[in-house]
């Protein structure tokens, strides 16, 4: 058996201990980040399940290799800088290309949960920028 075959499968359980509040520097409103996962070399993949209460959202940000969102509950919006916000709903899969400035979050009247997956470059998977203003968010 070689080294690759001897490695075991890992399961990260979602528990209260693996859930944290979204940092207020990067999120507006009530956001919970559950069961974050990170890479084991040589993988660069990392992510988490992120739950946004009504009206909660990320700050503007970019990712060095892009980001994949899988909406698992509720409805929300995603917006690329310079474009109109686009609705996203349970079951939708959203791809945001590398280095595209964007934000995402819940609709004003409904919560939203998504799984966010991205890769890191030299340990960095996201560049956080300024917060989305109420005027920018206004749907």
Domains of the chain and any CATH numbers: 3-137 (2.60.120.10)
Each residue's pLDDT tens digit, 70-92: 999 999 999 999 999 999 999 99
Each residue's pLDDT tens digit, 24-81: 999 999 999 997 787 677 889 999 999 999 999 999 999 999 999 999 999 999 999 9
Are 118 and 126 a contacting pair, CB within 8 Å?
yes
User: Which residues of 22-66 form beta strands (DSSP E)?
Assistant: 27-28, 31-37, 45-52, 57-58, 61-62
């Amino acid at each position: 058996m070689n080294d690759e075959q001897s490695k075991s499968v890992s399961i990260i359980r979602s528990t209260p201990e693996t859930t944290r509040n979204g940092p207020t520097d990067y999120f507006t409103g009530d956001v919970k980040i559950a069961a974050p996962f990170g890479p084991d070399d040589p993988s660069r993949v990392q992510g988490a399940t992120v739950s946004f209460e009504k009206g909660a959202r990320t700050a503007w940000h970019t990712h060095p290799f892009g980001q994949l969102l899988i909406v698992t509950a509720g409805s929300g919006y995603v917006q690329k800088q310079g474009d109109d916000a686009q609705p996203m709903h349970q079951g939708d899969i959203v791809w945001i290309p590398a280095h595209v400035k964007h934000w995402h979050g819940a609709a004003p009247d409904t919560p939203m949960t998504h799984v966010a997956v991205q890769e890191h470059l030299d340990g960095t998977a996201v560049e956080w920028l300024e917060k989305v203003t109420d005027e920018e968010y206004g749907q």
